[in-house]
Amino acid sequence: MSSSSVLLESYDAKFASPRFPDVTPSQEAAGALPVETMCQGSSSPPSETVVFLHGRVHPEFVVEQCLPVAIDFEDDGTCVVADEVFGVYGTGPSEEAALDDYVVSLRDYREIVLSEERINPNAAPLADRLRAYLRDA
């Protein structure tokens, strides 16, 4: 079983439909997850896996537009999950831990950007870009 399969299985267990009701019964039966699509990125280094987050990945927000995140391992075994859209990343000893850390970092980034927009009109373009990907749950 590939490490990508392990990631998907662990997220399936974590984001079961009773906790996230926007997963339909047919999606649940098929094992649907917030990680909607998985592929090897053509421009990614060979050891890097790219997944696309979509749907409810956190209780506070939903990913509306597929958000590509790269999963890679450092030489010391630390897993790094990062996106190139917002420059947010998470780390951990496993893919699941790094993805969890990434989602928390994305939540924090979202809160900071939306708070900044209220006091700084120059933050509006960044907030608009954020809203193109994420919406309140």
Name the pTM for this structure. 0.68
Using CA atoms of 103, 72, 55, 62 in order, give the dihedral in degrees to the nearest 10.
30
Tens of pLDDT, residues 54-90: 999 999 999 999 999 999 999 999 999 999 999 999 9
Tell me the per-residue pLDDT of 103-124, one tens digit each, with 9 for 90 and over: 999 999 999 999 999 999 999 9
Nearest to 11 by CA among 44, 77, 55: 55
Listed by start position, the domains of the chain span: 3-136
Instruction: Please give the helix or strand (H or E) that residue 62 lies within, else none.
Output: strand 61-73
Structure tokens at 75: 């030489």
